[in-house]
Homo-oligomer: A and B are copies of this chain.
Amino acid sequence: MEKFELTILGCGSALPTTRHFASSQVLNIREKLYMIDCGEGAQLQMRRSRLKFTHLNHVFISHLHGDHCFGLIGLISTFGLLGRTAPLFVHAPSAFGPMLRSMLDFFCKGLDFTVEFCPVDTTRYGLIHEDRSVSVYSLPLCHRTECSGFLFKEKPTLPHIRRDMIDFYHIPVCEINNIKNGKDWVTEDGKTVPHGWLTTPADPPRSYAYCSDTCYLPGLGPYLQGADLLFHEATFLHEDLARARETFHTTALQAATLARDSQVKRLCIGHFSARYENESLLLKEAQSVFGHTMLARENLLIKI
């Protein structure tokens, strides 16, 4: 299977604690890196997770609270020092565009690469990026400021070649890609071997959804339906539901309910409030509704 894995760089919420960094994650899809949120310290955490700066071309910022974006200017500044030349694409709510530009002009003069700002419409579900490996969709969230989640849908891969059949028909290596792409094989005596005989079906495309920060939104269900992994904020325990509502956050119980109702395969919860020293309470609460839940933690690698 080709690589499709998530590394948590930080999973704390707004107030700093000794346990967590601010929100940031990196999704590795076939050795291309996609950063989701970029809280303070994200570049340091990338180093610690041994993720390669040069493989990162897209950063997706959910919203403009500091714990989700204060690490971006430092990351870009470091790219400049390292001599980067490839453009960097920053997908974020439109209001960030002019501010980012003025920070770049002030702190990062003379970059040898461009920072391309791609405004995200946070009010709707829609395709915001597409390349050979993945399609990325915005998910409209509901927080104290405009905010978008992100859904990463892997592009279908080619079928697997059947080594035994290739050997049997003495098919040369140079033909393998054609067969994977649907070409039949014609033997020396003119007999056609359908490509379906020579391959096994491709792995089903995988998907990953990121929902943070937001209040509980059961309406997200159809977008999340069947996702291989859902990361959802679970800032509070359900006993603090009033506080969650007040601050437009979600409880662990609510996150798990959404995961269960959307029939996702696994749930990872994070964005923990600084008030809980013992986060296993959040895990227990979520698992009471949805068994396949795990706690985010710094530098955790999740293979999807």
Contact = CB atoms under 8 A, between A and B. Distances in A.
Contacts of A77: 14, 66, 70
Interface stretch (A37-45, A126-134, A163-171, A255-263): A37-45
Contacts of A81: 14-15
8 contacts: A15-B82, A16-B47, A16-B74, A18-B44, A18-B47, A40-B71, A66-B74, A66-B77
Contacts of A74: 16, 22, 40, 66-67, 70
Interface stretch (A100-108, A135-143, A184-192, A219-227): A100-108
A99 interface: yes
A85 interface: no
Nearest to A77: B66
Contacts of A82: 15
Nearest to A20: B44
A89 to B, nearest CB: 21
A107 B63 CA distance: 11
Contact of A14 (B78, B99, B102): B78
Copies of this polypeptide in the complex? 2
Interface in A83-142: 99, 102-103, 106-108
Interface string A4-29: 00000000001111100110000000
- Which size class do A's interface residues fall under? 20 to 34
A48 interface: yes
A73 interface: yes
A276 to B, nearest CB: 16
Interface in A220-238: none
A16 B40 contact: no
A165 to B, nearest CB: 47
A18 B66 contact: no
A241 interface: no
B47 A107 contact: no
Contacts of A15: 78, 81-82
A158 interface: no
A129 B21 CA distance: 33
Interface in A22-66: 22, 40-41, 43-44, 46-48, 64, 66
